[in-house]
Amino acid sequence: MFQYLSVEELFPTPLWVIDLDKGPSERLNRDLMHDIHRLTEPREPVGIGGSWQTDPILHRLPEFADFMSLVRKAAKGAVDFLDIEYRDFAVTGCWANINPPGGKNSSHTHPNNYISGVYYVRVPESSGSIEFTDLRVQAGTIMPRTKKWNKFTGSKIAVPVKEGRLVLFPAWLNHSVPVNVSDAERVSISFNIMFTDYTESMSPTLWEKGSAPIRKKHAQPDP
C-alpha cells in the first residue's frame, strides 16, 4: 500500500485577481469612461476584428492619478508576495483598450517589463474573459483526451472578468482577449510595471552576490 502520496505543482505561474468594492468601482469606472471618451472622441472606425488603443501615456496624465494610485498599490502587493528585493518600481506604460463588437486582441506578451495588468472599466454581457496560454514548449507534445480539462491538462486558461476587476500577471505570459460578441464596446485599461533600479542593482547575475569567485583556467596557446 502507498505510505505517502503527494501531488506537487512545479514552477507555478502567479495570477492576481482583485475585485474592487461595488460602490467605489462604479464611481471610478464612470470617471474613467468620461476621461477616456474625452481623450479618444471622435474615433476613427477600426477594421473587422480590430481594436482601438490610446497612446501608453495615461500614467502621466493628472486625471488618471487616482487610478494609478490603485495600480501601484496592487502591484506592490504582487511584488511583495514574491519576496523580491527591490527599491522601487515604475509604471512604464498605461493605455486604454476599446474593443468594439467583433474586436479582439491576439496573443502577445509585454517585453522588458516584469508585471503586466489590466483593469476592466466596461464589460458588456458575453464579452468578459482574458485567456492565458501555456508557454512550455513541450507541454503539448502529447495531449490525450481527458474526462475534464483542468490546470494540469489544459494548454489555455480563460479567466472571467467583470467591471471593477483588476488582473495582474507576469509580463512574459502569453495572453489574449477573445472576440467581443456583444453589441457594445468593451473597455479596459492595461499597464506595465518594471523595477526602477533593475540595471543598477537587480540585473547582475545571481552568482555575483555573496558567492565565491569562479576560478578560470588559463587558455592554452594555439599550437
57, part of any domain? yes
Cell of 204: 547582475
User: Which domain range does residue 180 map to?
Assistant: 16-136+147-197
> In the chain, how many domains are there?
1
H or E segment and range at residue 79: helix 65-81
Which of the two residues, 214 and 178, has the higher pLDDT score? 178
- CA 186 vs CA 115, 180, 181: distances in Å: 23, 7, 10
pLDDT at position 151: 83
Digit-coded pLDDT (tens) for 36-56: 999 988 888 888 888 889 999
Digit-coded pLDDT (tens) for 180-221: 999 999 999 999 999 998 877 777 666 555 544 444 444 444
Strand partners, 119: 166, 189
78, part of any domain? yes
Query: Are 136 and 161 within 8 A, CB to CB?
Result: no
With 0.75 as the threshold, say if the pTM is over it.
Answer: yes
Three-class secondary structure of residue 91 per DSSP: strand
210, part of any domain? no
CATH number at residue 57: 2.60.120.620
